[in-house]
A and B are shown apart, each in its own frame.
Chain A
Amino acid sequence: MTPEVVSDPVSRVRRPPVYGRHQFLGVAGFIVFASILATVLDSAYNYGLLSSWLTMSILGLGFYLVFGLGGQFAFSQAAFFGLGAYSSAWASRSTSFGWGLLAAIVIGAAVALLFSLLVFRTNQFYFAITTLAFSQIALVVFREFDAFTGSGGEVIGIRKPDAFGYQFNTDVRIVWLLIGAVGVALFLVAMIERSPLRREALAVHAQPTVAATLGMPTGRLRLLMFVLGSSFAAVAGSLQAHRSGFISTEGFSVALAIDIFLILLLGGVSSMWGPIVGAAFVVVAPEKLRFIGNYRGMVYGILLILVIVVFPKGLVGLFETGWNRIRRRQSTDPEILGDSSAPDPSLEVGR
């Protein structure tokens, strides 16, 4: 921190972000950026990477709601991704992509709600491990529940997405569909960011007791964020199923849950843009590390530690610092308080 920022705590408080317009500008900017990428990068390989990035972004955005805003550490995102994929593949067998997507959302949200109610009273680490248990159970159910998921959890020949008679049947068309989907997801998250929901969720997350004494519905807020975030994952699952035409349980394991966690942490847990940046890292880094062959896993792990040591606020934190530096030149306003959730003192280790 530079000294002039710390001068007066009161001056740190700027206009609350609710009144800004920057989120929507950001969403528009993202769509333009992604569209440019989709136009410039024209090869099946790059379309594949773009599609993975966009799908993982939706997963990451969902986890941002669950964890970044709701403050609930969950490993279940990968399981809901799988649930969405299998539900959608199942429901669209004799109908259409639209019904599949709807089924994914409804089933995903319903299961998330039920699960959340079941372990409603657990918190923190306990909740995290129950979600881990949930994902392990889900994986076995996917593999064994043949009527729903196909033999051995392998579903082939899932129809390509379509909307209003338009077939998204090529790689590039699917990229456009996914850009649209991420746009909608970002728009929804931006709405939440601009609503009192964000403030309340952060308050519940950072100071649960205080929030409760102020009459905030702490439980309901956490539950809402979990169900919303899990539905995002289910939507991503539906898109994944129809994009690749094939799903198997390998794609929904705890390894993916950890990847999703890395996406948010690497990108930056305190910003809705964190997951977008983090997803790009998690998708692109292993692919670009192909040339080092067997050392890939090792280098990836080390890179991860380095990034987290050097950029504690995630990669987005890096951009934010740069951005604030530019803005500070224009006005004397220091950084926006509301953008970084106050670190929860109880969550620090080794004080």
Chain B
Amino acid sequence: MDRFISLFTIGIAQGAIIAIVALGFLLIYKATGVVNFAQGDLVTLGAYVAVWASTERGWPLGVAYLLAIVVLFVVGIVLERFAYAPLRGRSIHVVVISTLGAALVIRAIILKWMGPTPTRLASPLGFDVITVGKARIPKQNLLIIGLTVISVGGTMLVFNMTQFGRQVRALASDRVTAMLQGIRATRMSMLTFGLSAAMSALAGVLIAPTRAVTVDLGFSVMLYAFAAAILGGMGRLGGVVVAAIAIGLVRQLGSGYINADYAEIYPFILMLVVLAARPEGLFGHDTGSRL
């Protein structure tokens, strides 16, 4: 039972990270239609900015975390200007290849800057744990869950309640009409890229203290985020969050109770099974729609 509590909490925390990345990815997808393959490398970059600030500059962790989020917001806008804006109106495949190219560039910059050997980002809570029964749960996991609840809740609130959210939804449902109504698509796309990258940075600094930081850090998270987005049916933010948590749990419990050698693939097997039965995902109703 203690083991179950430990694994369960970690599963939720890992799912929470996946949820943040998936929401960031969906934000861009809804506002612009772009599937951003650089999302994972933005996560990695966020983590490395914080590593640099805290270990090489010796700045306090809070500052390092904030810096990562701010820097990545700017990087997101730069990404939009260079890898997406010049290609507006081109086929989606061209844009996808461009985000892939951007991913390669980001990755190469990280390698050149920080080197290929693994490193580490400290947690503001250190290695502290709280005990539930006999189970010892790292406080970092609770921090992850807490911040995820705040940021995901905030995103949903913004998405459903504000002018910005309405505009994004309008762009997602009918881009041309939305623009005819005076929605500034350019400004919106810059803003969504920036916000999405900032969310990636948040995911990056939250997940980095739980493992060795390498240049591959964000890639596997991105794959799970894709899976979560699809399982959740692309459209519904709530559905995507539920799917992300499910993925985190399946991975953790599968590795704990079935066989750790296959930990990586339990979520993908789940996804294939669900899609074989429900091609539109768990909560989707109309495949391919961006609503």
Contact = CB atoms under 8 A, between A and B. Distances in A.
Contacts of A130: 230, 271-272, 275
A296 B87 CA distance: 24
A174 B104 CA distance: 32
B89 A269 contact: no
Given A119-B275, A137-B269, A262-B97, A351 B175 contact: yes
B135 to A, nearest CB: 29
A129 B33 contact: no
A349 B109 contact: no
B102 A265 contact: no
Interface in A136-177: 136-137, 140, 144
A305 B109 CA distance: 15
B234 interface: yes
Leading 9 A-B pairs by shortest Cβ distance: A297-B108, A301-B104, A133-B268, A121-B279, A301-B105, A350-B88, A298-B108, A304-B101, A305-B101
Interface in A303-326: 304-305, 308-309, 312
A123 B89 CA distance: 23
B7 to A, nearest CB: 20
Contact of B287 (A118, A124, A265): A124
Interface in A233-270: 254, 258, 261-262, 265-266, 269
B91 interface: yes
A126 B87 contact: no
Contacts of B133: none
A351 B261 CA distance: 46
Given A305-B102, A350-B185, A351-B175, A134 B272 contact: yes
Interface of A: 118-119, 121-126, 129-130, 132-134, 136-137, 140, 144, 254, 258, 261-262, 265-266, 269, 294-298, 300-302, 304-305, 308-309, 312, 343-344, 347-351
Given A132-B223, A136-B268, A309-B87, A122 B287 contact: yes
Nearest to B234: A125
B94 interface: yes
Given A121-B279, A122-B279, A140-B265, 9 more contacts: A119-B279, A124-B287, A125-B234, A129-B227, A130-B230, A134-B268, A301-B101, A348-B89, A349-B87
B271 A297 contact: no
A351 B223 CA distance: 28
B112 interface: yes
Contacts of A344: 91
Contact of B111 (A125, A254, A294, A348): A294
Contacts of B98: 305, 308-309
B265 A137 contact: yes
B222 to A, nearest CB: 10
Given A133-B272, A301-B108, A349 B88 contact: yes
Interface of B: 32-35, 82-84, 86-95, 97-98, 100-105, 107-109, 111-112, 175-176, 185, 189, 219, 223, 226-227, 229-230, 234, 261-262, 264-265, 268-269, 271-272, 275-276, 279-281, 287-288
B108 A348 contact: no
A122 B90 CA distance: 25
13 contacts: A126-B279, A129-B271, A130-B272, A133-B223, A140-B262, A258-B100, A262-B97, A265-B97, A304-B100, A312-B91, A348-B91, A350-B189, A351-B176
Contact of A125 (B35, B101, B103): B35
A119 B272 contact: yes
A347 B91 contact: yes
Given A124-B287, A350-B33, A262 B268 contact: no
Nearest to A350: B88
Contacts of A136: 223, 264-265, 268
B110 to A, nearest CB: 10
Nearest to A345: B91
A297 B111 contact: yes
Contacts of B268: 133-134, 136-137
A266 B96 CA distance: 12
B43 to A, nearest CB: 16
Residue picked from A140, A300, A344, A348, most chain B C-beta under 10 Å: A348
A304 B89 contact: no
B104 A349 contact: no
Contacts of A294: 111-112
B104 A300 contact: yes
A222 to B, nearest CB: 14
A349 B275 contact: no
Contact of A308 (B97, B176, B227): B97
Nearest to B229: A129
A254 B264 CA distance: 14
A302 B105 contact: yes
Contacts of A269: 93
A18 B98 CA distance: 34
Given A132-B223, A134-B272, A262-B100, A298 B105 contact: yes
Contact of B276 (A119, A125, A258, A308): A119
A261 B100 contact: yes
Contacts of A350: 32-33, 84, 88-89, 175, 185, 189
Contacts of B100: 258, 261-262, 304
